[in-house]
A = this chain, B = another copy of it.
Amino acid sequence: MEAHSVQILVQIFVMFAAAKVLGVVGERYKVPSVISEIVAGMVIGPHLLGLVQVQEWTLALAELGAIVLLFDVGLDQKLTDLMKVGWTALLVATLGVVVPFFLGYGLLVLMDHSQTESIFMGAAMVATSVGITARVLQELGVLKTVVATVILGAAVIDDILSMIVLAVVSGLSEGVNYVQIGSVTGLAIGFSLFIVLVGQRVMRRVTPHVQRFARGEPYFPLAMVICLGLAVAANKIGIAAIIGAFLAGLVFSEEELTAGLKTKIHALYEFLVPFFFVAMGMQMDLGVLRHREILLLAGLITLLAILGKFVGCGVGAYRMGWRPAVQIGVGMVPRGEVGIIVASIGLGLHTISDEIYAVVIIMVLVTTLIAPPVLKVLFRERGRAPSPAPAADLPSQPSPPGELL
């Protein structure tokens, strides 16, 4: 084996071990793994200990992690379930996407950042990380209440809206013009609809042949080929590769083939996804926080991110009464993987600066840490939540494998 590939092996070990060790420590204090892993990346990365450098292959490994992550997110969305969630969830999700986007975008435009950078900032503030909220709700035993149903349903729609936003912003390489935004939006929506509608039809036809063809569990290799293939295809038409992975997940989610498939995807998830978050942490230059204006901006953006979701989603749910509206507003606050993905794409395209990247990471860390304790207080104040709803209406949202989020 060549000297250099040994070097890579050592760094892979350091990244994985740091993620898992900090993950175990964090779990004792109920810190979500996303956070432990990002912090692990900051610690071992070039800006602190310097054990691992950001290199071509690091980004490729992180990319593989992001692809598996988004494929898994896609697998968890059942389009048919989504139809049942109702208008409240749709309203909550839509306002929860629109309000934070314009708050983030607006602030950066006011501060004379470029149009593209401002759009990326807005986009990074959009997606709720439902895994964290779902786990808290589960621990409190309120997963089957109306409030939880609305939160989870809205988070699913929110994911899909975020993907559309992401597809659009990832097509904006340099500068912004409205014709380009229009054409990229059209392309992204057209591509998504095509894959989902045609893909599910094709899968239904192909499934019996696959079972006849191969022995063992044949869907995992097929799923990975399609997942990587659609990631490449998405990238070729100019949108983010992970959108393709997400769509591949959607295509496989409707079939009755997810049981065996999910176990295997989760194993890949446990091994590969940490590399994504560690690599994201490695890219964060803590040094920029020494500048007071950056720290101020981070505080401001984090505040807007919290208020944006809280107000947007709360208003969307106002007809349910003020207490459920507050609970829903808080439940939608945590941002996670998608915000970081948006920021990392911006960083890769050199359309956002190191400073803005650091601001996004801080926003994600704080919103993720702040929501769970507040949620616990809100739900405990009056014991169980108002009115229990039947579980059948719940979109399936199991907490991710390996307790990662």
Tell whether A178 is near chain B: CB-to-CB under 8 Å: no
The answer to whether A1 touches B225, judged by C-beta atoms less than 8 angstroms apart, is no
Q: How far is the CA of A23 from the CA of B228 in the complex (A)?
A: 17
On whether A17 and B270 interact (CB within 8 A), knowing A56-B57, A232-B9, the answer reads no
Q: Which of A59-67, A150-158, A329-337, A378-386 is near enough to bind chain B?
A: A59-67
Residues 92 to 106 of chain A near chain B (Cβ within 8 Å): none
Most-contacted residue by chain B among A17, A24, A221 (CB, 10 A): A221
Tell whether A215 is near chain B: CB-to-CB under 8 Å: yes
Q: Can you list 27 A-B contacts with CB-CB less than 8 angstroms, sorted by A residue number?
A: A1-B59, A1-B344, A2-B348, A2-B349, A4-B59, A5-B56, A5-B59, A5-B60, A8-B56, A9-B67, A10-B232, A12-B64, A13-B225, A13-B228, A16-B224, A20-B224, A20-B225, A21-B225, A24-B214, A27-B215, A28-B213, A56-B57, A57-B60, A217-B402, A220-B270, A264-B266, A265-B267
List residues of chain B with CB within 8 A of the CB of A216: 401-403
Tell whether A392 is near chain B: CB-to-CB under 8 Å: no
Q: How far is the CA of A263 from the CA of B270 in the complex (A)?
A: 13
Q: How far is the CA of A250 from the CA of B336 in the complex (A)?
A: 38
List residues of chain B with CB within 8 A of the CB of A8: 56-57, 60, 63
> Contact partner of A9 among B27, B220, B222, B228, CB < 8 A?
B228
Q: How far is the CA of A255 from the CA of B57 in the complex (A)?
A: 35
How would you classify the secondary structure of chain A's contact residues: helix, strand, loop or mixed?
helix
Most-contacted residue by chain B among A60, A240, A349 (CB, 10 A): A60
Most-contacted residue by chain B among A23, A28, A222, A224 (CB, 10 A): A224
Binding site for B on A (CB under 8 A): 1-2, 4-6, 8-10, 12-13, 16-17, 20-21, 23-24, 27-28, 56-57, 59-60, 63-64, 67, 213-217, 220-222, 224-225, 228-229, 231-232, 235, 240-241, 263-268, 270-271, 344-345, 348-349, 401-403
Give how many copies assemble into the complex: 2
On whether A215 and B403 interact (CB within 8 A), knowing A64-B12, A228-B13, the answer reads yes
The answer to whether A9 touches B214, judged by C-beta atoms less than 8 angstroms apart, is no
List residues of chain B with CB within 8 A of the CB of A268: 267-268, 271
The answer to whether A231 touches B27, judged by C-beta atoms less than 8 angstroms apart, is no
> Contact partner of A12 among B5, B6, B213, B228, CB < 8 A?
B228
The 6 closest A-B pairs by CB, nearest first: A267-B267, A264-B267, A57-B57, A8-B60, A13-B228, A5-B59
> Contact partner of A13 among B16, B215, B229, B240, CB < 8 A?
B229
Closest chain-B Cβ to A214's Cβ sits at a distance in Å of 6
List residues of chain B with CB within 8 A of the CB of A221: 20, 23, 270, 402
List residues of chain B with CB within 8 A of the CB of A9: 60, 63-64, 67, 228, 231-232, 235, 241
Residue of B nearest to A265 (CB): B267
